[in-house]
Amino acid sequence: MIRYYCSGFDVNNAFGHGLGDMFQTELRDTKSIVYIPGNPEKIEKTKTKYIPDFTNHFQNVGIEFDEVHLLTPDSTREEAKKLITNASFIMLMGGDPFKQKELCEQLGILEELKKFDGIMVGFSAGAMLMSKYIIVTPCSEEYPDFHIEEGLNFDEISIYPHNNTSEDIYPDTLVVGDETYQKADLIRVAKEYGEFYLLQDNDTDISLIKSSNGNIEFYIENNGKIWKVSDEVRLVSLNQRKMLS
């Protein structure tokens, strides 16, 4: 089984930079793709914007699925389990990982996801749900407190997306848009819950982690960076990284 933990993507070319080539090599077939939303309350926008956008991104790299499915709160448990079992590709979309987890629990598909043997990609919230722990530190008005829950724990690793800095040394305080990350908060979580990874996405600066049958690999494009948080925050060693292109 192959899983990709992703922070974000190039909105103009999500599967470029070599990622589409990897999918082409790994896909056993293109019979169906199943999308699992990160914002179950925004199903209409997911249908009318996000899925058509991703369909175009797949087509840009020569991939077209025979069937495209979206799980929603209105899906039945039986239908959801069947779609997951028969899928060629599963995408856990961005949004709210806690709501995404609730949807999966509601549809009774957690075990099916854990047993899935195709390609699975998690973007942002989706990568957090795939993690050992879903980690949120106090960083904004939307997230004023620590909020940590168990994820699906596919690979004994945890991901924290969107930690974007151009520096090679992680700053004590990092401001990203309307969010502020404190290095001390990140280290506090690591000391209590174990080490985890920070992923960066910034226009075309891409970073992701791939798990192939338990083998963990790190991929970056352009100035993308991956940090490991333990008792410090440090860049993953360059000799462990592989360029996407």
Domains in the chain, start-ordered, CATH in brackets? 2-236 (3.40.50.880)
| pTM for the full predicted model | 0.95
What are the beta bridge partners of residue 160? Answer: 198
Confidence of residue 242 (pLDDT cuts 50, 70, 90): confident
pLDDT, tens digit, 9 for 90 and up, residues 172-209: 999 988 999 999 999 999 999 999 999 998 777 889 99
pLDDT, tens digit, 9 for 90 and up, residues 217-239: 999 988 889 999 999 999 997 66
pLDDT, tens digit, 9 for 90 and up, residues 133-178: 999 999 999 899 999 999 999 999 999 999 999 889 999 999 988 9
Separation CA 160–CA 125 (nearest Å): 9
pLDDT at 210 over 80: yes
pLDDT at 135: 98
How would you list the strands of the sheet with 226-229, edge to edge? 159-160, 196-199, 226-229, 233-235
pLDDT, tens digit, 9 for 90 and up, residues 98-138: 999 999 999 999 999 999 999 999 999 999 999 999 999 99
pLDDT at 60: 94
pLDDT, tens digit, 9 for 90 and up, residues 8-19: 888 888 998 789
pLDDT, tens digit, 9 for 90 and up, residues 40-96: 889 999 999 999 999 999 999 999 999 999 999 999 999 999 999 999 999 999 999
